[in-house]
Amino acid sequence: MSGEERGARDAEGRDVAGTPTPEPTPADRHVPVMLDRVVALLAPALQHPGAVLVDATLGLGGHSEAFLRSCPQARLIGLDRDPEALRLAGERLAPYAERVTLVHAVYDELPRVLADLGVPAIDGILFDLGVSSMQLDEADRGFAYAQDAPLDMRMDTTAPTTAADILNTYSAAELARILFQYGEEKFSRRIADRIVKARETEPFTNSARLSELVRDAIPQAARRTGGHPAKRTFQALRIEVNGELEVLRRALPAAVAALALHGRIVVMSYHSLEDRIAKQTLAAATKTDVPDDLPVIPAGHEPYLKLLTRGAERPTEEELAENPRSASVRVRAAERVREKGLVA
């Protein structure tokens, strides 16, 4: 919510009507990424009675709120692994409570959630991947390398393993593997060796010490480009703590399978590893399962999906100016066009 929307304040912090202006909540501060485009991609599948939308990564509910407002016949099932996100999103979506079901679950649990709710198929599903704005902004979660905090990084605070656990127990080879595989860090072995040596003196507990160690481990010439030198290490640890890529590999095929005819899926990725999985999963379902040299594709063997985006869509200049956190987003979308051997 902008300052203009909240109204002008007088010298005592009251608005022009004399009412104290409330402090903004995390939901007030949250700016959903590429909101208009995401709504435009999914809304056509949600304009009929009984339509079901799954927000697989509910976060603070910004995207979901827009769908509930623009698709009055749709019902929302919101999933999130973070209990605090569910609480805050529940407050935000309270005006639509009769059309909202919130579930504490990781998105690869989608088949179980739908079975428990008696939902045979869905009309739309949104994946807004990566760490949420709320998690980044809460210093004590340890996601941000730019501020000192406990090395936690759990999206679900009830999960057993933290980033500190990984740093203090993984071997140098294991650490190097996740830094290279999940962070695409060229100096992964060098950083891993220094972590193992440093923890012999004192276990890792806070992010500032790790951030400094990574900065010192990377050659000075390599620090001049690519942003903060610790960002790839923090990304890799977060992915490992939360099992993000393994979960995504299970979740996307399950989501496609759950789509009703003409149902739509939108995937918002924030780094190349996520986007690669999304691209491969959607592309695989747009190909026929018969030999290429067959002159005619038999009925029932046509592709399941039709792509709605050409490649990965990126934010506009206006979007970037309004919401700098959208800089790395890539959006892919598809529609289900075959069910039970029929094409429509």
Residue range 142-169: mean pLDDT, rounded = 87
Non-local (6+) Cβ contacts of 337 within 8 A are: 261, 262, 302, 303, 304, 305, 306, 343, 344
Residue 310's CB is within 10 A of a number of other CB atoms, namely: 7
Q: Are 317 and 235 in contact (CB under 8 A)?
A: no
Do the Cβ atoms of 89 and 113 come closer than 8 Å?
A: no
Lowest-pLDDT range of 50-54, 136-140, 220-224: 136-140
Cα–Cα distance, 4 to 26 (Å, whole number): 18
| Rounded average pLDDT over 136-145 | 57
Residue 136 has pLDDT above 60, yes or no: no
The mean of the pLDDT values for the chain is: 86
- The three-state DSSP-derived secondary structure of 29-57 is HCCCCCHHHHHHHHHHHHCCCCCEEEECC
- pLDDT confidence band for 292 (50 / 70 / 90): low
What six digits make up the tokens of 344? 């429509």
> What is the mean pLDDT of the segment spanning 148-163?
90
Structure tokens given for 180: 């290279």
Which pLDDT tens digit goes with each residue over 252-270?
999 999 999 999 999 999 9
Instruction: Select from 290, 293, 282, 296 the least CA-distant residue to 337.
Output: 282
Share of the chain above pLDDT 90, in %: 70
Mean pLDDT within 216-232: 85
Q: Of 33 and 4, which is predicted with more confidence?
A: 33
Q: How confident is the model at residue 142 (pLDDT cuts 50, 70, 90)?
A: low
Q: Crossing angle for the helix pair 83-92 and 62-70, nearest 10 degrees?
A: 30
Total Cβ atoms within 10 A of residue 161:
14
pLDDT of residue 5: 30
Q: What is the pTM of this model?
A: 0.84
Q: Higher model confidence: residue 31 or residue 319? A: 319
